[in-house]
Structure 1
Amino acid sequence: MSQKKSERPVRHLLGLSGGKDSSALAIYMRDKVPEMEYFFADTGAELPETLEFIDLLEDYLGKEIVKLNADRDFDFYLKLHNNFLPSPQRRWCTINLKLIPFEDYVGEDEVVSYIAIRADEPSRVGYTPTKSNIQTRFPFREDGLGKDDILCILESSGIGIPKYYNWRSRSGCYFCFFQRQEEWLGLKKNHEALFELARQYEKYDEATGKRYTWNQSGSLDEIVARAEKKANQPQKSNSTKSKKLIDNITHDNDDDFCPICML
């Protein structure tokens, strides 16, 4: 009589974006779920600070953070989309570089995916699985943890927050189309070479007269020109404003970031 094949155990997965919430969740769950698997979908357009932070987190967790998209990056999919940039209405970057690689990584295994949506984000939905073998859990919501708790987890662990939060409010690609204008200016100040690369992606279609820009308010050149014009005008001092952009954002808006990229 042949021995019955044993069933594979349920996998526990936690995806990292390089942002504060998913990083705090990894720290929070490290000892609660020892068998947790960690992964990071590298788009090939990550900030240096993000990659540095992922390495730091990997050392803290004592486990490998599996890197997805080893062979295909943003430029590969940009060519497939006729060099038309992604936008809030056409988020092909999220689909091809985040969602599909994750579901391929899962395969047909039974999986519990841990999502870093906080208790103070009541309207946020986040990732909705398209496969029946993927279940989701929201530990921060379950345990009533909000933004202050998340920052406390990061600080008390000794990890802290990624350095890009000094001038940026989110993780994601250096050219993310959800960036505010001040974040684009922060990119120019902190990573001028990356800003120039993002600028070169923008284009003008002579056949249709349509412009393809990262920001709906105008091209990166126009954003810089407006900022320079404003800088030459008298400004009211605001001594109470924090130098860190993250401290000046009172809540996260579900309409201005991708549900996967910005955890």
Structure 2
Amino acid sequence: MRKRLLISFSGGRTSAFMTHWLLTNMQDEFEMPVVFANTGKEREETLEFIQQCDKHFDFNLVWIESVANYQKGKGVSARVVSFENASRNGEPFESFIKKHGIPNMGAPKCSRELKAYAIKAYARSIGWKRYTTAIGIRHDEPKRINWESANRQRIIYPLVTMIPCAKSDINSFWMKQPFEVNIINQ
């Protein structure tokens, strides 16, 4: 029986590379749904890149959005959406603010509620209780990793432990691809 590995696809180049590598090389070892949690505040170019990755690399991506529960003590749930109907006007983010207030350094709940908890809610909805989550952080980004927290939360960093990669490796991969994320700084 294959182990369960939920791939948290952030929508960036490193995360896309990690997802592609895992799906290409680890199918025999893991059952691997790929999940993208949309906050409704991503740029259109990012959403288009995510869609291109899904189609080109056959990610079979599940797009989700956090749904706030306004009842005290009740956490978020997740709704499945698609590229076509994903929120683009900040609806999940606004719903988060309605419940928790504006996020700030003293109350940094935004990523937790809109991404991590929504992904966990999705996993529960498909009957997954025990699984590991893959996150796309590179070998050359050690300051972004809290190993104690990662072990407690069952998070792995494949681009650190399975196939150590630096930014130059990711850039080399994308130079060979027929598309790229097209974000123009304004």
Asked if 1:31 corresponds to 2:24, the answer is yes
Provide the residue aligned with 1:158 in structure 2. Answer: 178
Asked if 1:135 corresponds to 2:154, the answer is yes
Question: Does the CA-based 8 Å contact 2:6-2:134 persist in structure 1?
Answer: yes
1:51 is matched with which residue: 47, 71, 87?
A: 47
More strand by share: 2
Identity level (%): 25
Provide the residue aligned with 1:92 in structure 2. Answer: 109
Provide the residue aligned with 1:40 in structure 2. Answer: 36
Per the TM alignment, residue 9 of structure 1 is displaced from its structure 2 partner at its CA by 4.9
CA 1:126–1:152 in structure 2 vs 1: closer, same or farther (change >3 Å)? Answer: farther
Per the TM alignment, residue 52 of structure 1 is displaced from its structure 2 partner at its CA by 0.5
User: How does the TM-score come out when normalised to structure 1?
Assistant: 0.53
Provide the residue aligned with 2:10 in structure 1. Answer: 17
5+ residue gaps, structure 2: 69-91
Give the 5 Å matches for 1:184-203.
186=186
User: How does the TM-score come out when normalised to structure 2?
Assistant: 0.72
CA 1:32–1:16 in structure 2 vs 1: closer, same or farther (change >3 Å)? Answer: same
Question: Does the CA-based 8 Å contact 1:14-1:37 persist in structure 2?
Answer: yes
CA 1:74–1:121 in structure 2 vs 1: closer, same or farther (change >3 Å)? Answer: same
Per the TM alignment, residue 149 of structure 1 is displaced from its structure 2 partner at its CA by 0.2
Q: Secondary structure at the match of 2:59?
A: coil
How many corresponding residue pairs?
155
Give the 5 Å matches for 1:94-113.
94-107=111-124, 108-113=128-133
Per the TM alignment, residue 25 of structure 1 is displaced from its structure 2 partner at its CA by 0.8
Distance in 2 (alpha carbons) for counterparts of 1:29 and 1:17: 15
Question: Does the CA-based 8 Å contact 1:10-1:109 persist in structure 2?
Answer: no
CA 1:117–1:42 in structure 2 vs 1: closer, same or farther (change >3 Å)? Answer: same
CA 1:103–1:129 in structure 2 vs 1: closer, same or farther (change >3 Å)? Answer: farther
Asked if 1:80 corresponds to 2:73, the answer is no
Larger-gyration structure (1/2): 1
The CA RMSD over aligned residues, in Å, is: 2.4
Distance in 1 (alpha carbons) for counterparts of 2:119 and 2:150: 10
